[in-house]
Structure 1
């Protein structure tokens, strides 16, 4: 009886793991948006099951009303961010000014090594510094609790 129970439990564990990480990858499985102080931030999550495979963050800053000094400070911040993200293999960073707006885009693949690097460098805040994968549900729940609006793909 114990052997049968162990076999059933092992089978159930395999099915659970397959359900969580299995299936095909869904692009834009969830999108979170936050508007604050003239900045609109959008985070899109690609996922396979409940496992986030890629995060794409876009921040749009409306520069109307910004002084030249404020724009210079913003550009210095962008240069610093470019250097920081350039040191992380696999992460894409871009920033452009268009139509009176500054548009910053960061693409972070969440494979184990890249994820650990961005967490260690403080570029992605998480509760567990030893994280090896991100749960889509836990991530979107945390964002909603922080005031973000979250939409999920149906």
Structure 2
């Protein structure tokens, strides 16, 4: 896959995996939705993960994401597996890194398939596998001064 003209370093393809990126700039729902447009798709599912103001009953005051240099390669591996396991017409996934504020988009994934049930299932698996397998870690700070890393072993 070659970098896209609009976003150097991001991955675009002629096959079903249309957009993959780990970036330090704000994410766009329109960009991800447009990437999965396909005339043969009867269903498109989109998931958006946002920064919330609490976690586990504690008020969140700050949040940042860090990624391992292999994150985009792992994201590609996950995406290609989803495209192989489901009748995916198009797939896109972008994840934010850096410091984020409450309400910011942290991750956006979308999948289009011939039918809605397939699109829902593929999108769910895409976000679940991304969260579990792609080396991106969340660092949260709380109002009481404590902090935690999520996703780091």
What TM-score do you get using the length of structure 2 for normalisation?
0.29
Q: More helix by proportion, 1 or 2? A: 1
Structure scoring higher RCO (CA < 8 A, sep ≥ 6) equals 2
Q: More strand by proportion, 1 or 2? A: 2
